[in-house]
Amino acid sequence: MIKVYDAVVIGAGPAGISASARLAEMGLQVLTLDEQQRLGGQIYRNIQESSQKTRDDMGDEYARGIVLAQRFENSGALYYPRATVWDIESDGCVYFSKDHQSEQIRANYIVIATGAMERPVPFPGWNLPGIMGAGAVNNLAKEAELTPDCDVVLAGSGPLLLLEASLLIQKGVNIKAILETTPKTPSIDAMLKVFPALKRFDFLKKGLKMVGDIKKSGTPHHKGITNLRAFGDDKVERVEANNGSTHLQFSTDMLLTHFGVIPNTHIFRLLGCQMAWHREQRYWYPQIDKWGRTNFDHIFAAGDGAGVKGALTAEYRGEIAALEIAHCLGIIPTYERDQLAGPIENELKHDDYPRPFVDAVFAPSFSKESFDDETVLCRCENIKIKDVRKAVGEGVREVNELKIVTRCGMGPCQGRMCGPAMAEVVGAELALSPDQVGVLKIRPPLKPIPLGEIADMEIETAGAGQADLFKNQSK
C-alpha cells in the first residue's frame, strides 16, 4: 500500500514552510518534500546552521527565517530533505527520489512551492568557467561562508544584482565594475508606479541606502550598458560592454550575472497547469485563484513559483493556501477561514505596494539585437543562437518543434537554462511576443534519476486494485 497524506507540500522555502506549518498545526497529516539538504529554500538557505556573522551580513530579511524554521519544526509536519520530486499527477500522485530510492505517495491536496530561479540570459561567453549567477555566490556565502577572493565584475539588472554588489562591497571584495543593463532613466510607466510604492517608504529607503552604499564605495557603476560579452580561454579573463558609444573593458577573474528572477515552472508545466504570461517581466506563471488553487482543484501553488513577489509574500501565500485546503477538508468552516485569512490578506496588500514599481523599473526588454549569432543558447547540447534562427528561417514556428529540429532544450536541464531565451529569440525573429511561440512541454522525470530506481519502486496504478482482487481469487 502506498502512503496517503492529507497534504503534500513540495519545497521548503518560505511558502512551503508556512503552508506545511499551518496545515500541521491544524492537525492535518502533512509531508513536506524538499530537494535540499536543509530547510529554507534559497532566501533562508542554511538558516538553522548559519553563523552569527552570516546572519549579521545578510540582515533582518534573512534572520526572519529562524522563527519560521522553528515554527515548522514545532508544527509536526513530516519533513523529508534531499527528496527530489520527479513526477506528479493531477490526481494527487507524487513520485520522488530520496537517498537513491524512489517512492510513490498520494495526497488529498498538494501545495507546490518550488520557488524561483535567476533568469538565464545568454550572451557571448556566458558559459565560461568563472561566470556565475549572483545568486550562486549569495548561496555560497550562506551555505559555506565563502567570499570571492579575486577581481569581480557584476552585470545584469534587478534589485538583487545591486543587493549582491553592496554585500560584496561591505565584505571588501575588489569589484572592478557594476554593469547594469537597466536603462539610465526609468520609463514613464515606471515613474507613474512610484506612487503606490511611496506607501512603503521603509522599502524604498532600503533601496536608496543600497544604491548610496555602492556610490560611496567609489565602485565604477555603469547604467544602460549593452552588448555584454565575456572572453577567456579556459575561464573568464575579460568582460566587455558598450555604454552608449563608449567601449568598456575590464580584466577580471569572476563575472557575476543576474537578470532578475523568474518562477521555476517545470513542475506546473509537467502537470498541465494553465499558465499565464507576465507581460512586463516576461515570464510564465501558473494561473491561480485568490487561495492559490490552480486549474486542478487539489493542486495549489504558493510562493515565487506562482509569480515572483519575494519572501514575505511567499510566506503569506503559503498560509492562505493552507487555510483554504483546511477548509476544503472540513477542518475549518468558511467564516473561520475568512477570519484567519483577513489579516494575512492585509499584510499581502501592504507587501505588494512597491512591487509594480520594481517590476517596471527592472522590466527586461529583448530584441533581435540582444542576441548574438555565435552565442551558445543551449548549454547542455551546445546549440547556438544561429542554429535556432536558421530553423526559424526554414519555417519552424514553435519552440517544441524547434527542440526536435535543433535539440535545443533536450539536455539534462530540460530547457531550464535555454527555454526563456529560446522563446525570445524565436519571438524576435517572427515579430511576435515570446508567449506566442509556445512553451516547452515538460515530461517526467523532472530531474534525471537512474532507471533502476524506477524498476525497484513499488507502484500502485489505477488498475492495481482489480488485479489484486483477481490474484486473491486464484489462490
Partner 1 sequence: MRPRKYHTSAITDSMFKKETNRKQETVKVTLDGESRELQSGISVAAALLADGQIVSRISPSSNKSCAPHCLMGVCFECQMEIDGVQQQSCMVQVEEGQEINRRLTGSEAEKK
**In degrees, to the nearest 5, what angle opens at C-alpha 308 toward C-alphas 302 and 311?**
70
**Least distance (Å) between residue 130 CB and partner 1:** 7
Nearer to partner 1, 9 or 413 (CB): 413
**Least distance (Å) between residue 434 CB and partner 1:** 19
Cα(72)–Cα(146) distance, integer angstroms: 28
* Contact criterion met (CB below 8 Å) for 382 and 376: yes
Cα(351)–Cα(203) distance, integer angstroms: 9
Nearer to partner 1, 118 or 424 (CB): 118
Write 186-191 long-range contacts (CB < 8 A, 24+). Answer: 186/360, 186/361, 187/360, 187/363, 189/360, 190/357, 190/360, 190/361, 190/363
Does 133 help bind partner 1 (rule: CB under 8 A)?
yes
Given the rule CB under 8 A, which of 16-24, 285-293, 444-452, 463-471 is the region that contacts partner 1? 444-452
Does 248 help bind partner 1 (rule: CB under 8 A)?
no
Strand duo 101-112 + 3-10: pairing = parallel
Does 174 help bind partner 1 (rule: CB under 8 A)?
no
Given the rule CB under 8 A, which of 123-131, 215-223, 386-394, 461-469 is the region that contacts partner 1? 123-131
CB-based contacts of 460: which residues, under 8 Å, 6+ apart? 1, 2, 104
Cα(163)–Cα(171) distance, integer angstroms: 13
- In angstroms, the Cα distances linking 254 to 34, 43, 236, 416 are 31, 23, 7, 23
- Here's the x/- map for partner 1, 57-96, by CB under 8 A: it reads as -------------------------x-x------------
Candidate list 29, 90, 243, 264; residue touching partner 1; CB under 8 A: 264
Does 205 help bind partner 1 (rule: CB under 8 A)?
no
Element (H, E) at 282: none
- The gap from C-alpha 115 to its chain's centroid, in whole angstroms, comes to 4
Nearer to partner 1, 136 or 204 (CB): 136
Candidate list 104, 108, 147, 242; residue touching partner 1; CB under 8 A: 147
**Least distance (Å) between residue 417 CB and partner 1:** 5
**Least distance (Å) between residue 38 CB and partner 1:** 9
Candidate list 56, 91, 145, 297; residue touching partner 1; CB under 8 A: 145
Candidate list 11, 120, 356, 445; residue touching partner 1; CB under 8 A: 120
* Contact criterion met (CB below 8 Å) for 305 and 114: yes
Nearer to partner 1, 125 or 354 (CB): 125
Does 294 help bind partner 1 (rule: CB under 8 A)?
no
In this structure, what are the phi and psi dihedrals at residue 124, rounded to the nearest 5 degrees?
-55, 125
Nearer to partner 1, 35 or 319 (CB): 35
Nearer to partner 1, 351 or 424 (CB): 424
Nearest to 91 by CA among 102, 81, 101, 105: 105
Candidate list 131, 214, 239, 388; residue touching partner 1; CB under 8 A: 131
Given the rule CB under 8 A, which of 47-55, 184-192, 273-281, 323-331 is the region that contacts partner 1? 47-55
Cα(322)–Cα(15) distance, integer angstroms: 10
Nearer to partner 1, 94 or 236 (CB): 236
* Contact criterion met (CB below 8 Å) for 306 and 286: yes
Candidate list 2, 3, 48, 49; residue touching partner 1; CB under 8 A: 49
* Contact criterion met (CB below 8 Å) for 279 and 258: no
Candidate list 103, 319, 324, 381; residue touching partner 1; CB under 8 A: 381
- In angstroms, the Cα distances linking 402 to 340, 419, 427, 470 are 48, 11, 12, 47
Does 42 help bind partner 1 (rule: CB under 8 A)?
yes
Cα(322)–Cα(387) distance, integer angstroms: 46
**Least distance (Å) between residue 412 CB and partner 1:** 4
Joined together, the cell numbers standing for residue 325 give 485546503
- Count residues contacting partner 1 (CB under 8 A)? 51
Does 380 help bind partner 1 (rule: CB under 8 A)?
yes
What strands lie across the sheet with 152-157, from one edge to the other? 131-133, 254-259, 152-157, 175-180, 221-222
Cα(42)–Cα(47) distance, integer angstroms: 10
Candidate list 14, 148, 305, 445; residue touching partner 1; CB under 8 A: 148
Nearer to partner 1, 238 or 379 (CB): 379
Does 287 help bind partner 1 (rule: CB under 8 A)?
no
Does 253 help bind partner 1 (rule: CB under 8 A)?
yes
* Contact criterion met (CB below 8 Å) for 29 and 6: yes
**Least distance (Å) between residue 99 CB and partner 1:** 11
Residue numbers of the site for partner 1 (CB under 8 A)? Answer: 35-37, 42, 49, 51, 53, 82, 84, 100, 117-118, 120, 127-133, 135-136, 139-140, 143-150, 171, 234-235, 253-254, 264, 376, 379-382, 411-413, 416-417, 447-448, 450
